[in-house]
Copies of this chain bind each other. A is one copy, B any other.
Amino acid sequence: MQRKSKNADNKTKPSVPARTAGGPRYQQIADDLLAKLRDGTHPVGSMLPTEVELSGQYSVSRYTVREALRLLEAMGLVDRRQGAGTTVNASDPDERFVQEMTSVDELLQYPENTRLYVISAKYVEAGEALAERLGCTPGETWQQIDTVRRVTATAAPICTTTIFVRSEYGAILDDIGTVPEPVYAQVQKRFDLQLARVGIDLSAGPVGEGRAELLEVEPHAPALLIMRRYLDPKGRIFEVSESCHPAARFTYRLTLRRTGRTED
C-alpha cells in the first residue's frame, strides 16, 4: 500500500516521496527486521519467515525482500541456504573490524628497498615437531631455506627468515633474491598455485643461538617472531616462513576500521 502510494501518487503529487523517510523500501524492511532480531522476535538460531511470507507481510515483491535480506546477510546477521531457509546468526550487527591491505606485502612483507639473501638450504624430513609447525604429516620432505633480509643501504639485517616449502616446490630456491617479490608469490606463479589464506602467528621470544650472530645482537635478546602459513584454496599449506626480528628493529603496525554497522 505504501509502495503503491509512492508509485501512483508521485505522478500527480510528488511532494515528499515516502522514500525520503528511511531510504528505499528494502532498507526500511531491513531496519525493521533488524529491530525484530534485537527484541527477540527472531531469536538467534531460529528461522526467519520465508521470502514469500515476508513479501506478504510487508506487501512488497520478493525482490524487495531479497534486497533487505541481502543487507542483513552482508552484516553477518543471517545465513541463507538454498532449499533450507534463512537462519538467524546474530541479533546485533557485529562490531566487526576489518583490516584491508592491497597486498600481503603491506601486511608482513617488507619495503622494496630490502633484499632477501639465502644463507643455506637443504631438504629436511619433517619429524613430529616440525610436522606440527608445518601443518603436515610427519615424514614428508620439505625444502628448508635460511635467509636474512637486509636494507640495501644499511649494514644491520632486519631479520632472519626460515622458509619451508614442500619439496615439489623446492626449485623455487633458484629464484629467491633475484626479484623483489615475496617468496610466496614466486611459488604461486612458478607452480601455478593459488594462495587462498594466510595464517599468521605473532609472538615474542629470544633470538636463537645461531641467529644472534647473523643479526648482530646478543644471543637471547628479545625478538618479534612471526610465523606465516600460506594455504591454497583446499587448505593445504604450501609454504611456511618463520621470521625473527630483533626488538626495536621492527614494529608491525596495522589499522582496523569498524564496519557492519547500520550507521556507517
- Known contacts: A95-B103, A204-B204. The answer to whether A197 contacts B250 by CB under 8 A is no
Indicate with 1 or 0, residue by residue over A193-218, a CB within 8 angstroms of chain B CB atoms: 01111111111111000000000000
A115: Cβ under 8 A from any B Cβ: no
A257: Cβ under 8 A from any B Cβ: yes
Contacts of A102 in B (CB 8 A): 94-96
Q: A223 touching B200 by the CB < 8 A rule? A: no
A245: Cβ under 8 A from any B Cβ: yes
A41 to chain B, nearest CB (A): 23
Indicate with 1 or 0, residue by residue over A226-264, a CB within 8 angstroms of chain B CB atoms: 000000010000000000011110111111111000010
Interface size on A, residues (CB 8 A): 46
Q: A255 touching B197 by the CB < 8 A rule? A: yes
Q: B200 touching A251 by the CB < 8 A rule? A: no
- Known contacts: A97-B104, A104-B97. The answer to whether A248 contacts B205 by CB under 8 A is yes
A52: Cβ under 8 A from any B Cβ: no
Classify the secondary structure of A's interface with B: strand
Q: How far is the CA of A247 from the CA of B225 in the complex (A)?
A: 10
Q: A205 touching B104 by the CB < 8 A rule? A: no
A185 to chain B, nearest CB (A): 8
Q: A251 touching B95 by the CB < 8 A rule? A: no
- Known contacts: A97-B101, A100-B98, A104-B97. The answer to whether A224 contacts B253 by CB under 8 A is no
Give the residue among A204, A246, A254, A255 with the most B Cβ atoms within 10 A. A204
A222: Cβ under 8 A from any B Cβ: yes
A99: Cβ under 8 A from any B Cβ: yes
Q: B98 touching A253 by the CB < 8 A rule? A: no
Indicate with 1 or 0, residue by residue over A171-195, a CB within 8 angstroms of chain B CB atoms: 0000000000000000000000011
Across the A-B interface, the 7 shortest Cβ-Cβ residue pairs: A222-B222, A204-B224, A202-B252, A204-B204, A99-B99, A204-B247, A203-B251
Residues of A within 8 A of B (CB): 94-104, 107, 194-206, 220-225, 233, 245-248, 250-258, 263
